[in-house]
Chains A and B, each alone.
Chain A
């Protein structure tokens, strides 16, 4: 008996030794070097740089000059910035709730055991894998004067008398672009909810059915609360995406008509790459970063409290 114990002890000691000997102290860093260089060069360094630029007057061709807080002063005096901020906030408060709720029901729908359900799942994912350029072109053509949407509203449903230029009128353009963002995001968030659904043990539903809950009631009372963690993730991801929206706007409206679809990132892009006002645009970037930072910290706090 004692011998066996000695043996185990010896083996344990040997194990500890091998663990230590598996690598020398520099090895871990060697594996990390490529990633750290890239992340350092293309994330952390630019973050410091953008803060420095934001206090400078700088275009790529001349030397940068310190201007103190002038860029920030200008931003907060520019009514175009406020209009861009307003559009971003509008985007946010419209798109995020839809993208938190709709994909959840879509996930519940495609989680049913039905024939051909895999086909539907894949089809709903199609907009996600398509590039925004193609999606933008497809929707431009739907929104056209002689497009499908007008056809549907005027000739099929008889809701409107005349076709509308959805993307060319300031009152409908922003909303029309939002629809594309939602349409392209539905499948993505559906899959996240689907993953959450599949982590819920099946016997919970069985128990609910024995207790007499069925159909919609079962989902509202049982499934939805159990999906709270997924919901938090979707809320954070869709919020970040809404605050950063650019591609669909660039492709579909270029910020028009009359700035009605210009968002903060679009405003930043124009000042940086069309006016080459890099200092000013950097200050816009810093403001955007601060908004996002406050925002993501708040949502992390919120989801921690809920979890």
Chain B
């Protein structure tokens, strides 16, 4: 940690900086919130604008919920994100196990191969992936949204690092107790790397929640849209009324903020184990 004693004068400067940055990072959301609470009687396009609503009302929120299938989008987003988390955790944990704990032919080659995929951006390969998904007839389905990202090099790397920190003696003890390799993985090792699994789960969830381009390409039915697609669509539907667009955007933020508050402490752990401390 930094600084032993912080003087009052320094404190004033530090808090000023902190507050300026706070306004910059949260301000855009507050402006959106303020707009969504303005009543239809207020002119949104007058200049200079009113910073706060004169007669605050949640009418726009209600209208959005009534006119667009907001809860369907919400449910779809949750469903996609949760499945994405489960498959990523399971496949990464399975693959990371032998890479961390076993000796076998081709191990180095396989691990390097997996890591090298970090240098192949999705934007480069998305055309063949799209063609493949079309040929497999899984467009317009969540399988098509989820499958191409069901496991990533990041996830395998993160969990491999976690497995590496567990002493071999624990594994050997379990073996002597009669566990086979799958039981060792499932009953002994997985519980020991829970923090890393949580980190992977949270990162996967946030990524999936905000994912835009790929679901846009795959999903055609509006009833299957996830929240980002639904909110983007809202911009076309309510092009003339920014109150409603703002209300939709604000509403769609509530779940992820709740999620973030609940899981906050894992975010910094993720960044630490993701690279720097390697």
Contacts and interface: CB of A to CB of B under 8 A. Distances in A.
A137 B268 CA distance: 27
A151 B25 contact: no
Contacts of A229: 276
A122 B31 contact: no
Contacts of B134: 60
B49 to A, nearest CB: 5
Contact of A112 (B14, B91, B209): B14
A183 interface: yes
Contacts of B26: 123, 126
B71 interface: no
Contact of B277 (A137, A195, A281): A195
B18 interface: yes
A57 interface: no
A159 interface: no
A79 interface: no
Contacts, number: 297
A interface, size bucket: 35 or more
A282 interface: yes
11 contacts: A42-B147, A53-B127, A126-B260, A131-B210, A131-B252, A163-B47, A187-B25, A195-B268, A243-B121, A250-B212, A272-B127
Interface stretch (B2-10, B53-61, B62-70): B2-10
A141 B151 contact: no
Contacts of A243: 121
A199 B276 contact: yes
Contact of B31 (A19, A44, A142, A281): A142
A34 B95 contact: yes
Given A28-B102, A43-B125, A192-B275, A112 B29 contact: no
Name B's interface SS: helix
Contacts of B217: 273
A122 to B, nearest CB: 6
Contacts of A49: 125, 128, 131-132
Nearest to B153: A39
Interface in B1-52: 1-4, 6, 10-11, 14-15, 17-18, 21-22, 24-29, 31-32, 35, 44-49
A42 B2 CA distance: 45
Interface string A31-63: 110111011011111110110010000001000
A27 B105 CA distance: 12
Nearest to B202: A129
A132 B178 CA distance: 51
Interface of A: 15, 18-19, 21-23, 25, 27-29, 31-32, 34-36, 38-39, 41-47, 49-50, 53, 60, 106, 108-114, 117, 120, 122-135, 137-139, 141-142, 144-148, 150-151, 154-155, 163, 183, 186-187, 191-192, 194-199, 202, 205-206, 209, 215, 229-230, 233, 240, 243-244, 246-247, 250-251, 265, 268-269, 272-273, 278, 281-282, 285-286, 288-289, 292-293, 296
Contact of A46 (B47, B132, B147, B272): B132
B172 to A, nearest CB: 6
A288 B91 contact: no
B82 interface: no
Contacts of B120: 43, 47, 289
B8 to A, nearest CB: 12
A296 B119 CA distance: 8
A298 B229 CA distance: 37
Contacts of B276: 192, 195-196, 199, 229-230, 233
B124 A286 contact: yes
Interface in B83-107: 90-92, 94-95, 97-99, 102, 104-105, 107
